[in-house]
Homo-oligomer: A and B are copies of this chain.
Amino acid sequence: MERIKIGIIGAGRIGKLHAENLKQLPQVEIKTISDIFADNIRDWAVQNGIANVTADYQDIMRDPEIAAVFICSPTDTHIAIIEEAAKAGKHIFCEKPISFALDKTVQALELVEKSGVKFQTGFNRRFDHNMSRIQELVREGKIGDTHILKITSRDPAPPHKEYIPASGGMFIDMTIHDFDIARFMVGSDVEEVFVQGAVLVDPVFAECGDIDTAIISLKFKNGALGVIDNSRQAHFYDQRVEVFGSKGCLTIQNDYPSSAELYTADGVYRDKPLYFFLERYNEAYVKEVKAFIDALVHDTPVPVSANDGYQAELIAHAAKLSLQEKRPVKVEEVLTQWHISV
């Protein structure tokens, strides 16, 4: 069996993580990794059996042996790379968000579609053992028709100050995962969004024109309602979901480092949940790349499509508009705003 040759573009935290997970898959060879600071990663690449390191990702595009690329570079580089990869006939795994500009996302995805390459959006949470289990139970009809979706999604601590202005704002940076999980759980697109947002954690968010706390109401096209609550500072990674329907309710809780509990005269104590996404979604990242590779090997559809990436961005832009205009916003209004014809 010949191994699928992969190129990885961007060797930051997430690029390295994907590389280390891909390394475990016998069907895969990571042929080349590119990073603008190529020298910084040479040792790491050797330790991980990656043959080529380059500062120029075009080396990957030009290599006819490379069948698929992982786009792990900063968001503002995504569109150009996607377009080049599509033209080069390389399958694409792209980190979220696809871009900060909805019209460019649309253009790029149209090109992808025409080119016929596969495109998977990096929504790792769908592969989480908790998330995937309740989605499966929803799909099996265990709760009947879905009436209410609830997502709690809170980061342990705010990002660095420098990161905030470049993040695209909380919705496109952080909540985008929740928008995807919302669609994943309910099995329907979103029709309307209303945001109550606030700066309660750190005034730096206000200085950057951003928020750090939000309650986001959703109305889905199938009639279900939903709510996401976000905070940039929960002291651990608080990621819980509840799906309520005509027959019952499904819930998932946080994951813990252990089940140890200490009972004393002063009360009952246990360690807090896992601190952040690398711990919590460790296995989900493995399953995510495995699912992409499986889709390549068997030439089957990828489990998280380009449209999934686009839809989550659409909701994020609607949320932004709702926050600005302090009113409920139809998701389709965003199309008008961005001059997109469906």
Hey, which bits of chain A sit against chain B, CB under 8 A?
26, 47, 129-130, 133-134, 137, 142-143, 145, 147-148, 150, 152, 154, 192, 194, 196-198, 200-201, 213-215, 217-219, 223-227, 229, 231, 233-236, 238, 244, 246-255, 257-273, 326-328
Which B-chain residue is minimally distant from A327 (CB atoms)?
A: B327
When chains A and B are docked, how far (Å) is the Cα of A254 from the Cα of B267? 13
When chains A and B are docked, how far (Å) is the Cα of A47 from the Cα of B262? 43
Counted per complex, copies of this chain come to: 4
Contact A196 B217 (CB under 8 A): yes
Which B-chain residue is minimally distant from A24 (CB atoms)?
A: B24
When chains A and B are docked, how far (Å) is the Cα of A47 from the Cα of B129? 27
Q: In the assembled complex, how far is the CB of residue A199 from the closest CB belonging to chain B, in whole angstroms? A: 9
When chains A and B are docked, how far (Å) is the Cα of A65 from the Cα of B266? 49
Q: In the assembled complex, how far is the CB of residue A249 from the closest CB belonging to chain B, in whole angstroms? A: 4
Which B-chain residue is minimally distant from A199 (CB atoms)?
A: B223
Which B-chain residue is minimally distant from A48 (CB atoms)?
A: B26
Query: Would A137 and B260 be within 8 Å (CB), given that A200-B145, A246-B200, A246-B233 are in contact?
Result: yes
Which B-chain residue is minimally distant from A233 (CB atoms)?
A: B246
When chains A and B are docked, how far (Å) is the Cα of A145 from the Cα of B200? 9
Q: In the complex, given contacts A200-B224, A266-B272, A267-B270, what are 6 additional A-B residue pairs having Cβ atoms less than 8 angstroms apart?
A: A26-B47, A142-B262, A148-B213, A225-B229, A233-B246, A254-B259
Contact B246 A133 (CB under 8 A): no
Contact B263 A249 (CB under 8 A): yes
Query: Would A130 and B244 be within 8 Å (CB), given that A145-B200, A269-B269 are in contact?
Result: no
Contact A263 B251 (CB under 8 A): yes
Using Cβ atoms and an 8 Å threshold, which residues of chain B touch A255? 259
Contact A250 B244 (CB under 8 A): no
Q: In the assembled complex, how far is the CB of residue A147 from the closest CB belonging to chain B, in whole angstroms? A: 5
Q: In the assembled complex, how far is the CB of residue A235 from the closest CB belonging to chain B, in whole angstroms? A: 4
Q: In the assembled complex, how far is the CB of residue A247 from the closest CB belonging to chain B, in whole angstroms? A: 6
Which B-chain residue is minimally distant from A260 (CB atoms)?
A: B133
When chains A and B are docked, how far (Å) is the Cα of A214 from the Cα of B145? 15
Query: Would A229 and B267 be within 8 Å (CB), given that A194-B194, A252-B260 are in contact?
Result: no
Using Cβ atoms and an 8 Å threshold, which residues of chain B touch A267? 269-272
Contact among B134, B194, B213, B217 with A260 in the assembled complex (CB-CB below 8 Å): B134
Using Cβ atoms and an 8 Å threshold, which residues of chain B touch A148? 213, 215, 229, 231
5 pairs of residues in contact across A and B, judged by CB atoms under 8 Å: A231-B244, A236-B263, A250-B262, A251-B259, A251-B260
When chains A and B are docked, how far (Å) is the Cα of A227 from the Cα of B150? 10
When chains A and B are docked, how far (Å) is the Cα of A223 from the Cα of B201? 12
When chains A and B are docked, how far (Å) is the Cα of A264 from the Cα of B265? 20
Using Cβ atoms and an 8 Å threshold, which residues of chain B touch A233? 246
Contact B265 A201 (CB under 8 A): no
Contact A263 B248 (CB under 8 A): yes
Contact A238 B227 (CB under 8 A): no
Contact B262 A235 (CB under 8 A): no
